[in-house]
Structure 1
């Protein structure tokens, strides 16, 4: 893989500055709108699991972002390391458009195409940053499912490459485009609950698994490529009445519960609620200074921050973690309670989740509505719209989308720090300016991870 990446980098002059100038020239003629067939962005999907479209996994379900892409862009390619899912993805796109997209098992074939304008990333978390960075360097705009990264250092690199290439990158934290959360933000911005003192993010606990045997990977799955930059590991699978895959495994969907590929609930749902809390608290350009794991439960034993049993899920199942900012503002992440975010201010409280916004300040809207344009002001000066429309509008006008890499990196850093503190079982101190853990080399070692040989990210 390394030689291929370097060859591509050579074509790009190995320079981020050059890449930025080149892709602006390349992209401009197609940033014209969504109705003209000659101007619609050409989209390639990398990762075609259930977050892309449940139908491509054999489930007749409603979930997935792909159908929301169809009004704005044309799928010209799909890519997956699972040949069965890849075949279903081809069928789904052909049904939508009347034309079969090109199909690949290797994402580099997509990155190398000059006619792809937008790369949509729906892979497991440990692949997100590498593919997104290489796509940006190759002149593509990116829609990447959350969480954006597996580590803090990946987030820093994502921000650097995005700045230097000028690419439009939207993260799939769709709550930023949800009316309930925008209303909550507008209420807070208008001072209706005073100054925020604390936000509590209830994100639900993580699952456990039985012992999962190591078995041969199915013939339709390129297990080595699925692992990619993650450590080499045997394929584990146990059929049973569990989740959308009806199994326990290290792979499809269930990868979320292994620290090798994800951060568990802390980054799965944390990427949603901690993101909103950070936005509301106006901490999108900084981070906490103290992270305390007040209570953490893991399903397997740990030593020096690493699980010692590789036969079962290993991410935290229960947790109460407090992050404190330099000004004393607190953000709690917990597994219990009503899923959502509770904001506590000097003049009241407000609760919001995907189903409701509640509190005295909400009740007061009947008598004292929000000012005109309050939601628009929260939504970066744009008219609030569908999360996918917001992305494609940004592709057209080259503006920053609502879920940008920079603020999401800061929010997700809190989630990653919570995971590090949980794994080590101790309080850690963080410098938001240096983006380093203070006086704890062992904890700092978790801020990045060395990729497996052959899967390095070259920039």
Structure 2
């Protein structure tokens, strides 16, 4: 799949262009360029949280219709259907199984806001059915899933947009272009901070699922486990069977921008990750505190994630350290100076809603034009970003408990990473009152990764985590076999 050029801003394409060469019968979007007034019919899958944004944005677009709402939990249908009808005057068709929507020949696209473990299968099924796809971050649950999604988008000539909305922000485009092209010196280390408090999910006993919830369908390709009330609808993020923790949740946004500031073809070559769940005990599995170091060759990437309460309860940002200074919070601090120079037009932290809307609009424009090269974040970009998150989690999951008295050797060679470990320890003392002298953390191995083959060097254990077994009836298709 062609990826968008980074040296010019990704334009919003008008209607028109060259028709796709591969046609899948049965849908009006399968191979033709849609006219400016042709209605784009969209199914929104996953309608509890983020899906409500999808419904509202698509519902507010001219000549776009939300025709289907898809969710295994039918308890949501009445209220969500009413929202769409109130906004558009038309009542959507509500189904629990995405395959029912895909059977509708008039459907053009699927917008996916389901739990992560459904992203790949739903995307591939939609591509096979001749539908275009907008899929939330992270695009996949494993590295193999992401690669299969890229292959499906290519084989079936589908428009597939990854839901990292900063890609459609002209300020971030200019900001990262200047960094990549050396305006502030040669990039050495990008330092991501994701500081967002996450409370305990507690302990819940296994109970029968609500009769309105098709729990077998909700589980889908994941292993079948007993239903608990702290899984549906949001806490699945912190369970390995369904989510990727914070590094795959909010981290996907930051990884996309950090990658955009690096050289065009920069990919991670090694990774080491550490952390744990601190401050409380519960049934969640992913770390609420995590520190990961990536080697991209000429540049390094540090990702700090903190999920306990502290003085400033929310920060999503990236500091860029170059051989000439530091770029932080919209200012450039030349080396040796404490006063920063304001960068005119620098993006702010957070995600203004108009940029999110622009990202959805970019997708619809490309559905009309059939020009995947104009996507702000296509499937290959989404996969490359997903790989970064998955690598960090694979190292962490293979880790062993070690005393805080032992500094992680894998991080000591990078000053930013070493300082971040010291800051993490101070955070744990301040936020959770942890006595570090008798506490432990999980330290993962330093893994060498080949981005061309998407395999680890000399680590069969890590390669086992590149994919996962699929449950019967929900197998991941191999579109190239």
Query: What's the TM-score, normalizing by structure 2?
Result: 0.75
1:24 to partner: Cα distance: 11
- Of 317, 321, 326, 1:340 maps to 317
Could you list the per-position Cα deviations for residues 366-418 of structure 1 after superposition, in whole angstroms to 9, with x for gaps in the alignment?
6xx99xxxxxxxxxxxx998111111111122223101110221121011010
Quickly say closer, same or farther: Cα 1:360–1:65, change in 2 above 3 A. farther
1:210 to partner: Cα distance: 2.0
1:360 to partner: Cα distance: 4.6
Contact 1:132 1:144 in 2 (8 A): yes
Quickly say closer, same or farther: Cα 1:23–1:340, change in 2 above 3 A. farther
- Give the 5 Å matches for 1:49-448: 49-53=48-52, 64-70=53-59, 71-72=61-62, 73-204=64-195, 207-237=199-229, 249-282=230-263, 285-293=265-273, 295-298=274-277, 312-325=283-296, 327-336=297-306, 338-351=315-328, 357-360=330-333, 363=341, 365=343, 386-400=358-372, 401-425=375-399, 426-448=445-467
Distance 1:194 1:125 in 2: 37
Query: Secondary structure at 2:290's aligned position in 1?
Result: strand
Query: Secondary structure at 1:359's aligned position in 2?
Result: strand
Query: Secondary structure at 2:204's aligned position in 1?
Result: coil
Quickly say closer, same or farther: Cα 1:198–1:88, change in 2 above 3 A. same
1:89 to partner: Cα distance: 2.0
Distance 1:232 1:275 in 2: 32
**Aligned residue for 1:244?**
none
Moved more, 211-220 or 336-345: 336-345
Contact 2:256 2:385 in 1 (8 A): yes
Distance 2:121 2:21 in 1: 17
Gaps of 5+ in 1: 1-17, 54-63, 238-248, 302-308, 371-382
Contact 2:28 2:105 in 1 (8 A): no
Distance 2:113 2:21 in 1: 24
1:345 to partner: Cα distance: 1.5
Distance 2:183 2:249 in 1: 30
**Aligned residue for 2:473?**
454
Quickly say closer, same or farther: Cα 1:451–1:386, change in 2 above 3 A. same
Query: Secondary structure at 1:142's aligned position in 2?
Result: strand
Quickly say closer, same or farther: Cα 1:29–1:321, change in 2 above 3 A. closer
Let me know the Cα RMSD of the aligned residues.
2.7
Query: Secondary structure at 2:385's aligned position in 1?
Result: helix
1:292 to partner: Cα distance: 1.2
1:19 to partner: Cα distance: 9.7
Query: Secondary structure at 1:386's aligned position in 2?
Result: helix
Contact 1:390 1:402 in 2 (8 A): yes
Contact 1:287 1:411 in 2 (8 A): no
Could you list the per-position Cα deviations for residues 332-384 of structure 1 after superposition, in whole angstroms to 9, with x for gaps in the alignment?
111149421111112232235xxxx3335984656xx99xxxxxxxxxxxx99
Quickly say closer, same or farther: Cα 1:360–1:46, change in 2 above 3 A. same
Distance 2:180 2:26 in 1: 35
Distance 2:32 2:295 in 1: 47
Gaps of 5+ in 2: 1-19, 307-311, 335-339, 347-354, 400-444
Distance 1:445 1:296 in 2: 21
Query: Secondary structure at 2:465's aligned position in 1?
Result: helix
How many residue pairs match? The answer is: 388
Could you list the per-position Cα deviations for residues 201-243 of structure 1 after superposition, in whole angstroms to 9, with x for gaps in the alignment?
1123654332222222112211111111111111112xxxxxx
Contact 1:93 1:99 in 2 (8 A): yes
Could you list the per-position Cα deviations for residues 48-94 of structure 1 after superposition, in whole angstroms to 9, with x for gaps in the alignment?
111011xxxxxxxxxx2321112141111111111111222221111
